[in-house]
Amino acid sequence: MKFHVLTFGCQMNAADSGWLGESLKAMGWEESGVDDAQVYIVNTCSVREKPEQKLYSLLGRLAERLESDPDMFCAVGGCVAQQAGVKLWNRFGFVRLVFGTDGIAQVPQALLRLTAEPKLRLSLLDFTQSYVERESALPQAAASPRAFVNIMQGCDNFCAYCIVPYVRGRQKSRRAAAVLHECTALAQSGVKEVTLLGQNVNSYGLDASGDGTSFADLLRAVAAVPGIERIRFTTSHPKDLAGEVIAAFRELPKLCPSLHLPVQSGSDRVLKRMGRKYTSAAYLAKVDALRRACPDISLSTDFIVGFPGETEEDFQDTLALMRRVVFDGSFSFAYCDRPGTASIKMEPKVSDTVKSRRLAELQALQNEQQEAMLQRMIGVRKMVLVDGPGARRGSDDPAWTGRDEAGFVVNFAAPAVPSLAGRIVPVRITQAKKHSLWGEALP
Ligand code: SF4
């Protein structure tokens, strides 16, 4: 069977799709281009604008091909499938499987059944009480020296603008032994860097599904896995970032000095309406503690501008927080109503014009701070985990590309023999571009 996976959304969705692809290949299926597939798997995301309409237009484009051949079909999973559910069946006859994030473990077997029983349709939308382990589906030799490892599913926080707890269910931690087993297998296949993934990794273990291991304990255990040289994690909720985890940045040399810590707003009034359960002062206290533990830590964040009720003064508080912290990067969005969230009912809404102006102002400040930070890197020695040859190979282009300790892309020239892919190489930065660094390998 030839299959093609289309993925939208976050790193967790990308990791889920990666696992699905490997599982299907382990069953003897063949991954193909979009025009040759017999089975399409669409892994959806509700975070971006108009996700349901986007899915419908994608299915509309696939319809011509799928409706002409009864042996071909489509499976739709992820957050939009969880929301739209069997509505998708009624609209598109070729959608024969809908699955939520808790149903992913059963998807390969469900697809096998569907190929054997052409009239069957299946739904895997139930939420589970605990993390459902998936069968291991790791390639013998890793395609990349970096890998994602899911450590939990779902979220208990119910931030006013977010749909995740409704579509991914309540928080369920994976057992530490399973996480460590996967990290060990990844290291044996050539992976050197793991990113531990979850909606709120800082509350790992604090749910009935966990085995009592705290997130700080898990970090220490992963750091002890032979062959794993670098550890990252995402996403972190500031209110749950424990002192022990902050201390881990000082204590664990393998824990990369970088942290994505979404603040969303610098205004306490807006943070309260968002249901974030911390103040800007509490956030700044954590930033200060992180910088005491790890002076070189690279911090990035998320912002939402124009949340309902956000005044000009609230927005100025956000800019003030940005100036105080100086983030190395940020993802920023203009607030947009999402069906099913609490904030859809909140008033007054901020006009599109004001939202666009505030977003542009915030992004201009972010660009200024990021450019200054990249300029400061010139002359600095970095340790780069090499992904492989650089994309462009002209005479002035770099031969290799990888990421430094903080996660920035570094392109650099170096002799091609032997291959540097998967190695950690010292590089001196010689040039800063808009979003990446360029340098040369050191002996
Ligand atoms: S912490 Fe808040 S924003 Fe993050 S997934 Fe949970 S509810 Fe959504």
Structure confidence by residue, pLDDT tens digits, 10-53: 888 888 998 999 899 989 999 999 888 999 999 998 776 677 78
| H/E element, 19 | helix 11-26
E runs forming strands in 243-377: 258-260, 298-305, 329-334
Can you tell me which residue has the tokens 């040859």? 389
Q: What is the mean pLDDT of residues 398-426?
A: 88
By CB atoms closer than 10 A (0-12, 13-18, 19+), residue 347 is exposed
Q: Which residues contact 63 (CB under 8 A, 6 or more apart)?
A: 92, 94
Sheet containing 146-150: order of strands: 146-150, 193-197, 230-234
Sheet containing 95-99: order of strands: 30-31, 2-7, 39-44, 73-78, 95-99, 122-124
pTM of this prediction?
Answer: 0.91
How many other C-beta atoms lie within 10 A of the C-beta of residue 308?
19
Q: What is the mean pLDDT of residues 251-272?
A: 98
List the beta bridge partners of residue 30: 2
What is the residue with the minimal CA distance to atom 4 of ligand 1? Answer: 199
Could you read off the pLDDT of 87-96 as tens digits, one per residue? Answer: 888 889 999 9
Give distance in angstroms: CA of 340 to centre of ligand 1: 14
Give distance in angstroms: CA of 155 to centre of ligand 1: 6
What is the residue with the minimal CA distance to atom 1 of ligand 1? Answer: 157
Question: Which amino acid is present at 87?
Answer: K
pLDDT of residue 233: 98
Number of helices followed by number of strands (H, E) in the chain: 13, 19
Q: Are strands 30-31 and 73-78 parallel, antiparallel or unpaired?
A: unpaired
| Backbone region of residue 306 per phi and psi (left: phi > 0; alpha: psi in -120 to 50; beta: other values) | left
Q: Are 110 and 95 in contact (CB under 8 A)?
A: no
What is the residue with the minimal CA distance to atom 2 of ligand 1? Answer: 159
**What is the percentage of the chain residues whose pLDDT exceeds 70?**
97
pLDDT of residue 289: 98
Question: Which amino acid is present at 223?
Answer: A
**Least reliable range by pLDDT among 107-121, 299-313, 403-417:** 403-417
Check residues 164 and 356 and name the one with the higher pLDDT.
356
Give distance in angstroms: CA of 304 to centre of ligand 1: 13
Pocket of ligand 1 (CB under 6 A): 155, 157-159, 162, 164-165, 199-200, 237
pLDDT of residue 294: 98
| H/E element, 12 | helix 11-26
By CB atoms closer than 10 A (0-12, 13-18, 19+), residue 363 is middle
Give distance in angstroms: CA of 321 to centre of ligand 1: 21
